[in-house]
Structure 1
Amino acid sequence: MNNHPKHIIAVSAYVTNEEGDVLLVKTHNRSDTWESPGGQVEEGEALDTAVYREVFEETGIKITVLGITGIYYNATKHLMSVVFKANVEGGLLKVQPEEIKEAAFVPLSEENINEYITRPHMKSRTLDAMNADHYISYETWEVNPYQMTGRLDA
């Protein structure tokens, strides 16, 4: 019997518009808090592609992905979450009811974060993204032959 490790990989994005407001969502199963839009990475999907797709699916907003601000692991659920920082590229804010309950751009700050984000693990990753002044390098590769298909610079 061969037991391969099973982990879930999720992505989310700290998205700001031209006014500096932050895109937040409320999900159906976590309606007690606001959080950054995101979701699970599909098998074979690049992380930056996944975060673009998830934000668009949930909110109708198209983003420019700037970089990774943090990687977080939920040991209980075997879930690794990669958080990106992004800017609004276009689209219109439109809640996708099958995906999320509510979405809004809010003037989020360290002073008012508790009014929006109630879960401590969501708060820490949001603060990390809010205060990030650099990013983690990220590359996507295909092998045989080796071919880089994407890169976000630090």
Structure 2
Amino acid sequence: MDSRQATRNYPKHIVSVSAYITNEKNEVLMVKTHWRKDTWELPGGQVELGEALDKAISREVLEETGIEVTVLGITGVYYNSSREVLTIVFRGISNSIDIAKQSEEIHKAEFIALSQDNIGDYITRPNGLSRTLDAMLAEDCVPYETWEAHPYNLLGRIEKKKLSVR
């Protein structure tokens, strides 16, 4: 394969992030979008070009709900082959208590007392259900680093850590 073919066939995947964010009552921050009102889902969205994943999820949660978060780590990686979207799911904690929905794409945002027993009442889509359950039941997070090259410079790192399981 020559370089022109490689360029033409270069993958154009979308990278997105979402997060399982809890407050001091261990309630989970959930949103409903205008185009998916049939289900609650974890807040998140598309990563911007050159943006670190942990910064992207902090930005997305703030834009959608007005909530500032502390990112704890990654609980799962998921791929939608129909839409070519790679989604990285984080765990985090809320640093604020008041939701101030800011994004026009969000229909509703709430902290919900989510459990394994009631999750199906809120999340109606199987891909959202598996991501949320994985994050809810995660015992630890994987490490995550952001680097720049030439010269190599570590911009940020989230250490592997144990999580408290609900």
Q: TM-score, normalised by structure 1?
A: 0.97
2: CA distance, partners of 1:80 / 1:106: 26
Structure 1 residues 37-73: Cα deviation after superposition (integer angstroms, max 9, x where no partner): 0000000000000000000000000000000000000
Q: Which runs of 5+ in 2 are unaligned?
A: 161-166
2: CA distance, partners of 1:88 / 1:18: 8
Q: Percent identity?
A: 56
- Residue pairs, 1:1-154, within 5 angstroms: 1=4, 2-3=7-8, 4-90=10-96, 92-154=98-160
2: CA distance, partners of 1:98 / 1:129: 26
Larger CA Rg, structure 1 vs 2: 2
Note the aligned Cα RMSD (angstroms).
Answer: 0.9
1: CA distance, partners of 2:154 / 2:101: 34
Deviation at 1:92, TM superposition (A): 2.5
Quick check: 1:26–1:100 contact (8 Å CA) kept in 2?
A: yes
SS of the residue aligned with 1:87? strand
Deviation at 1:90, TM superposition (A): 2.0
Q: Which runs of 5+ in 1 are unaligned?
A: none
Q: TM-score, normalised by structure 2?
A: 0.90
1: CA distance, partners of 2:156 / 2:40: 31
Quick check: 1:141–1:150 contact (8 Å CA) kept in 2?
A: yes
Quick check: 2:63–2:103 contact (8 Å CA) kept in 1?
A: no
Quick check: 1:62–1:91 contact (8 Å CA) kept in 2?
A: no
Aligned residues, how many? 154
Deviation at 1:97, TM superposition (A): 4.7
Deviation at 1:136, TM superposition (A): 1.1
SS of the residue aligned with 2:140? coil
SS of the residue aligned with 1:130? helix
SS of the residue aligned with 1:34? strand
Runs of 4+, deviation exceeding 4 Å: none
1: CA distance, partners of 2:142 / 2:81: 22
Deviation at 1:95, TM superposition (A): 1.6
